[in-house]
Homo-oligomer: A and B are copies of this chain.
Amino acid sequence: MQPDLLHDAVAIRVLNHLHARSPLVHCLTNDVVQTFTANVLLALNASPAMVVDPDEAAQFSAVADGLLINLGTLTQPQRDAMRAAITSARCHNTPWTLDPVAVGALTLRTDFAHEILALNPAAIRGNASEIRALAGESTGGRGVDTTDRAADALHAAITLARQYRTVVAVTGEVDYVTDGERTLAIRGGDPLMTRVVGTGCALSAVVAACCTLPGDRLENVAGACWIMKRAGAQAASRATGPGSFASAFLDALYGLNREVAQ
């Protein structure tokens, strides 16, 4: 199965929808990336909220437009909140997205990821090592970093997408997004994105936001990848290092909105 390149026009339609609808995204994510994740969503006119108590998480998932489950700093109490939120989201037909951070060798998150895979995620976004580990092809990367190229995980991504009837995004130098039948490729971005913590985790939040939009889910998820790569390339051209990059990246996301809104 040869990937097709995502057309800009398709991605811009996704961005337009995102801007117009301003989805409320419930983020159960890791401790390290909460601020950046919220700021990325806000820059795109989406509305982030982190509600973490199990009972409140269930109440909140019932009213949010989308839900993000990121396993980066999973604890047992957080696992309970995530279970409650996913259950509530499913009752309300709210799409939820899985970011299986560092799944593979670490027991708690790996067991939990396999448990919730059965609960119909709308999308899964991970790096090559994570997607391969989730599909049972390997035991994961080096810490939170991948040791594989995205293309090497394409087979695993397609397998997962078919088995769980979901959309899988495996991201890296080139991003690949597949629903098991069709695969889209997204180029762009910049290596500086790997020197700022949370760009991958924030992408998963944008995926969660885009899963709430009308239209084809494969294209919506691919649109999320395009948005981040486009802003990353713009920011890199203005930055002198990862500090100025992070700031320019949020500005670029915000400007992308305005560019397209015109």
Q: Which residue of B lies closest to A235 (CB)?
A: B243
The answer for the CA separation of A59 and B43 in the assembled complex, in Å, is 37
**Residues of B with C-beta under 8 A to A237:** none
Chain A stretch 175-219: residues in CB contact (< 8 A) with chain B:
194-198
Q: A142-B24, A246-B39 are in contact. Are A73 and B47 (CB under 8 A)?
A: no
Interface residue tally for chain A (C-beta within 8 Å)? 63
8 tightest A-B contacts by CB?
A: A241-B251, A243-B250, A243-B247, A49-B143, A38-B197, A241-B254, A243-B251, A32-B34
**Residues of B with C-beta under 8 A to A255:** 240-241
The answer for the CA separation of A63 and B60 in the assembled complex, in Å, is 36
Copies of this chain present in the complex amount to: 3
Chain A stretch 222-256: residues in CB contact (< 8 A) with chain B:
239-244, 246-255
Q: A: which residues have CB within 8 A of B?
A: 24, 26, 30-36, 38-39, 42-43, 47-53, 55-56, 59-60, 63-64, 72-77, 102, 105-109, 142-145, 194-198, 239-244, 246-255
